[in-house]
Homo-oligomer: A and B are copies of this chain.
């Protein structure tokens, strides 16, 4: 919960009134490893602020699962698209460890945003932040080869390499598990 205050402060200097308006939208929850915060086909009606642990977002493609995102401590796990438009989500979000979260409720947040200006801005900043994360990851694929992508992650997000098993990183980087393993051995 302290993490959460720090996170909000990093986005906006929220007044006491703003905090009061935000509070009704908040709850906390813990989930076990393997639990799905969001299921494919559901509408994403919550933002999950991750206090401890991490999650993954994945599409199903035929028999396989393709990871498109990971959410670690002090990040917001959500499907932006579904959350803001109310459409059904095309992917799922699942806890990869036991996690504890701060949950922001969609309908309360939207209502609060209509009445309180700071909350509306906060919503936009959240949206922007998660979108920016997606965009920067997307550009990896357009600008870099497989090796370069791995190198980039090694430099800019080493935590991910340490915590996420290779078979899950594989689809995230668009590189076969074996190939990642070989890139590693070439490096050392």
Contacts and interface: CB of A to CB of B under 8 A. Distances in A.
Interface string A97-137: 00000000000000000100100110110011001101101
- Stoichiometry (number of copies): 2
| Interface hub of A68, A142, A172 (most chain B Cβ within 10 A) | A142
Binding site secondary structure of chain A? helix
A52 interface: no
Given A117-B114, A120-B120, A143-B61, A80 B128 contact: yes
A66 interface: yes
Interface residues of A, number: 29
A72 interface: no
Contacts of A137: 138
Contacts of A171: 142
Contacts of A18: none
